[in-house]
Amino acid sequence: MKKIILFFVIAINLLQAQGIKIKGSDTVLALSQEEAEAYNKKSKANVSVTGGGTGVGLAALVDGTTDIAAASRRIKLEEKMKLQEAGKKFKEVVIARDALSVIVHPSNKVSQLTREQLEGIFTGKITNWKEVGGEDLKIVVYSRETSSGTYEFFKEIVLLRKNFSSSVLAMPATGAIVQSVSQTKGAIGYIGIAYLEKTIKPIKVSFNQGKTYVEPSVKTAKAGTYPILRPLYYYYLAKDESKVKPFIDFILSAQGQALAVQGGYISAK
Amino acid sequence: MLKKYIEKAQIIILAASSMITTITIFLIVIFLFTYGLEFFSNSAVEKGFDIAVHSSNPVSKLSPTQVQQIFDQEFISWNAVGGSNDSLEILHMEDLAIHYTEEQIGLEFEHMGTCISDYLSNHPNAITIIPKANIDPSFHGKIIQVSNLQLKDIFTTSKWFPTSKPVALFGILPMILGTLLVSFGAIILALPLGIATAIYMAEIMKPSWRKFIKPTIELLAGIPSVVFGFFGLVVIVPIIKDVFQLEVGETALAGSVILAIMALPTIITITEDALKNVPNAVREASLSLGASKWQTILHVVIPFAKNGINTATVLGIGRAIGETMAVLMVTGNSAIIPHSFLQPVRTIPATIAAELGEVSFGGTHFQALFALGCILFLFSMSITLYVNYISRPKHKI
């Protein structure tokens, strides 16, 4: 059974044109496509990009069906070990960064929260807005699905790896969170800052027990004062370095990074 | 002579087609169950890892839920799990880099075991996770026995933390109940509406109108489910929120409404066909006995078409149970046991669709999603078997 699948995978791969293949995170997908398009035009190369998710991309890297795995989270230890078992050395490069903003309904009086308060809200210990200085209104927590890199990152940085409360509403996409928060009065959620709109209100956060609150913006993220900032990664095998390096160099060049900033991401450095 | 061969070839082609279809279906089912059943033989701790504590710690056994509660810092002290009164200290493997340099750990983590062992001997109240490969004879700590995933826990608990570390919890009860609740609601809404429409179309409506209405309803079946989902999120969810004065509009009811709309074409088309198949002689006989049109429909036509209406109902339920995208967008997907229609719920298809994309292949979570697929398959299969049962030809009249 597995052999038959393997055979088809190999056959499909042989049919594809030789070029750089990128597979992985849907968060990084838009950026990869922009970069690949510009690079293909510039140096007549053939870079092809597909999504599927971070886990899918890294699994493809282990199987050797992609040259670059795009990831919106760091490689997990078990994935690292799988690569090691397969005897493959890999390299990691940060191609851009993405800031996450905590958002609420525009009518909400609360405009700043500490990390501890956010932890309380997302783990279900704080359930009413009046506990954090707002009106007497139940908090409706919107989160992403457990499979999303955004979810993992928010869990690690804001909840310090604790689990989200079971009663949070898990939405399939960032767009759905924006839509739901904009139409639910007691809502709170988190999204990439590229998705900020007028229909929702971003919250200032404090990661030092309330001494200073920082608003989410490209400026504060770049200055390093905004704390909820995640790197976006490319993973590739060390033996493929000569093949993929020119493309990665292009992304990290001034032109490539400008494209990232245009797309609402934060530059890699 | 040639004609005979052509005929033979045609029969072979037909036989081959049906063989291919059957084999494909069997292969899919086997594939689903190979992965799905593997799930039940897994240990609760992440593959290749163990939970370790200091060798003097009196605790030696923990349930998966206890490990999750410890790592979620729901307990402060060891006495919550039957240990001493000392406070718990958690070492996440990623944090090892804070306590030890990269050289000490080794570039390929080859000395990780030594570092963890060293950390444990200095921190008597620590609990940590350790890769099995790094446990060597010199390891000082004590390995905690964590019980395996048990059928009972999977089917009766309500914690769905598939990516939680180091122990993932797979309580699928909320999903099973959520799926049943949403489908049940959908059928309660769709059935009266669908059957009423079908009766009106088949028995009362003018043929010229029918020519227009029927294609419109069939068009409904052609709309992609993601469009229904988006319509639900933007239109139905806010309406439900306002009408019932709720804090949140993403509820089981929203899912039921969307599914009802999606199941309507199936129910209407099949019911209408069943009603149209009732011989005119039966109607005429009833009318000639002096029954009114309504009496004829209620007491003669509907009982005659009962089998078809049953089939329509069950196929409608089947459509509702398996629907993914629309439900994913409007039900809120909270993995909690639902108590009413006005609460967020999570369904099995929505869970599979949302989580399969980023799951690490072959892992416990991956298998858990296949196991969910198996359960869904069993649901749908029993529905199909039931359809076969109720629509079997009856010889008695």
Residues A91 and A109 in one domain: no
- Chain B contact present for A45, CB below 8 A: no
The structural domains of chain B, with segments of one domain joined by +, span 49-148, 173-390
DSSP-H helix ranges across chain B: 2-38, 64-71, 96-99, 102-105, 112-122, 151-156, 173-199, 207-220, 225-231, 237-243, 252-276, 280-288, 293-296, 302-304, 306-322, 325-330, 348-355, 364-390
Contact between A115 and A108 under an 8 Å Cβ cutoff? The reply is: no
How far A37 CA sits from the closest chain B CA (Å)? 25
CB-CB: which of A53, A137, A170 is closest to B358?
A53
Residues A136 and A21 in one domain: no
Is A243 inside a domain boundary? Answer: yes
Contact between A21 and A234 under an 8 Å Cβ cutoff? The reply is: no
Q: Give the three-state DSSP class for A206.
A: strand
Please report the pLDDT score of residue B394 as a whole number: 63
Contact between B370 and B349 under an 8 Å Cβ cutoff? The reply is: no
Span B49-148: which CATH code?
3.40.190.10
- State which residues of chain A have pLDDT below 50: 15-17
Task: List the single residue in B with minimal CA-CA distance to A162.
Answer: B72
| CA gap A134, B263 in Å, rounded | 43
- Residue B49's Cβ-side half-sphere holds a number of Cα atoms within 13 Å equal to 22
Residues A191 and A167 in one domain: yes
How far A138 CA sits from the closest chain B CA (Å)? 7
Residues A24 and A66 in one domain: yes
Residues A25 and A108 in one domain: no
Please report the pLDDT score of residue A5 as a whole number: 62
**C-alpha torsion sign, points B202, B204, B208, B214:** negative
Find out if CATH 1.20.120.420 is the number for domain B173-390: no
Q: Residue B159 contacts by C-beta under 8 Å, 6 or more apart in sequence?
A: A166, B65, B68, B169, B171, B335
Is A250 inside a domain boundary? Answer: yes
- Chain B contact present for A107, CB below 8 A: no
Is A268 inside a domain boundary? Answer: no
Please report the pLDDT score of residue B194 as a whole number: 93
Angle between helices B348-355 and B173-199 (to 10 degrees): 120
How far B140 CA sits from the closest chain A CA (Å)? 23
Asked if residue A227 has a cis previous peptide bond (ω within 30° of 0), the answer is no
Q: Which residues pair with A170 in a beta bridge?
A: A143
Residues of B in contact with A1 (CB under 8 A): 31, 34
- Chain B contact present for A163, CB below 8 A: yes
| CA gap A104, A156 in Å, rounded | 21
Please report the pLDDT score of residue A115 as a whole number: 95
Q: Measured in whole angstroms, how far is the alpha carbon of residue A202 from the centre of its chain?
A: 18
Please report the pLDDT score of residue A136 as a whole number: 93
Q: Do A79 and B360 touch (CB under 8 A)?
A: yes
Residues 2-31 of chain A with CB under 8 A from chain B are 25-26
In which domain, by residue range, is A174 found?
A: 99-223
* Lookup: tokens for B184: 């049940």
Strand boundaries in chain B, DSSP class E = 49-53, 61-62, 89-91, 126-131, 142-146, 160-161, 169-170
Q: Do B247 and A185 touch (CB under 8 A)?
A: yes
Residues 121-150 of chain A with CB under 8 A from chain B are 123, 137-138, 140, 145-149
| CA gap A226, B200 in Å, rounded | 63
Do B49-148 and B173-390 agree at the fold level? no
Please report the pLDDT score of residue A9 as a whole number: 58
Please report the pLDDT score of residue B260 as a whole number: 93
Contact between B264 and B220 under an 8 Å Cβ cutoff? The reply is: yes
CA R_g for chain B: 29
**Model confidence, pTM:** 0.79
| CA gap B251, B99 in Å, rounded | 46
How far B228 CA sits from the closest chain A CA (Å)? 14
B323: left (phi over 0), alpha (psi -120 to 50) or beta: beta
The residue assigned the tokens 């036509």 is: B301
Contact between A243 and A172 under an 8 Å Cβ cutoff? The reply is: no
Contact between A95 and A25 under an 8 Å Cβ cutoff? The reply is: no
Please report the pLDDT score of residue B153 as a whole number: 80
> Could you give the C-alpha distances from B367 to A149, B38, B106, B363, in angstroms and in order?
20, 7, 32, 6
Is A38 inside a domain boundary? Answer: yes
ipTM topping 0.90: no
| CA gap A204, A123 in Å, rounded | 19
Q: Do A55 and B233 touch (CB under 8 A)?
A: no
Residues A215 and A238 in one domain: no
**Domain at A42, CATH number:** 3.40.190.10
- State which residues of chain B have pLDDT below 50: 397
How close are the terminal C-alpha atoms of chain B, in Å? Answer: 48
Total number of domains in chain A: 2
Residues of B in contact with A77 (CB under 8 A): 93-94, 131
How far A141 CA sits from the closest chain B CA (Å)? 10
Residue B37: Cβ within 10 Å count: 13
Residue A40: Cβ within 10 Å count: 16
Residues of A in contact with B158 (CB under 8 A): 166
- Residue B38's Cβ-side half-sphere holds a number of Cα atoms within 13 Å equal to 13
Is A183 inside a domain boundary? Answer: yes
Q: Do B247 and A138 touch (CB under 8 A)?
A: yes
Please report the pLDDT score of residue A13 as a whole number: 54
Residues A49 and A141 in one domain: no
Nearest to A45 by CA among A30, A35, A55, A53: A35
Which letter does DSSP use for residue B203 in this model? I
Chains A, B: CB contacts within 8 A come to 117
Q: Which helix (H) or strand (E) holds A189?
A: strand A187-192
Please report the pLDDT score of residue B79 as a whole number: 86
| CA gap A158, A142 in Å, rounded | 15
Q: Do B165 and A147 touch (CB under 8 A)?
A: no
Dihedral of the CA atoms A110, A115, A118, A122 (nearest 10)? 170
> Could you give the C-alpha distances from B71 to A94, A146, B51, in angstroms and in order?
29, 17, 11
Kindly give the pairing relationship between strand B89-91 and strand B126-131.
parallel
CB-CB: which of B164, B174, B354 is closest to A145?
B354
How far A88 CA sits from the closest chain B CA (Å)? 12
What's chain B's length in residues?
A: 397
Contact between B168 and B85 under an 8 Å Cβ cutoff? The reply is: no
How far A255 CA sits from the closest chain B CA (Å)? 30
Residues of B in contact with A176 (CB under 8 A): 233, 329
| CA gap A23, A54 in Å, rounded | 8
Q: What is the DSSP string of B124-160?
A: TTEEEEEEGGG--TT--SEEEEEPPP-HHHHHH---E
Q: Do B165 and A161 touch (CB under 8 A)?
A: yes
Please report the pLDDT score of residue A2 as a whole number: 59
How far B350 CA sits from the closest chain A CA (Å)? 9
Q: Residue B218 contacts by C-beta under 8 Å, 6 or more apart in sequence?
A: B265, B269
Residues A59 and A47 in one domain: yes
Q: Do A149 and B48 touch (CB under 8 A)?
A: no
Contact between A245 and A253 under an 8 Å Cβ cutoff? The reply is: no
CB-CB: which of B94, B158, B355 is closest to A146?
B355
* Lookup: tokens for B176: 């099973």
Q: Do B238 and A183 touch (CB under 8 A)?
A: yes
Is A217 inside a domain boundary? Answer: yes
Q: Measured in whole angstroms, how far is the alpha carbon of residue B56 from the centre of its chain?
A: 44
Task: List the single residue in A with minimal CA-CA distance to B325.
Answer: A172
| CA gap A132, A185 in Å, rounded | 16
Q: Which residues pair with A236 in a beta bridge?
A: A68, A91
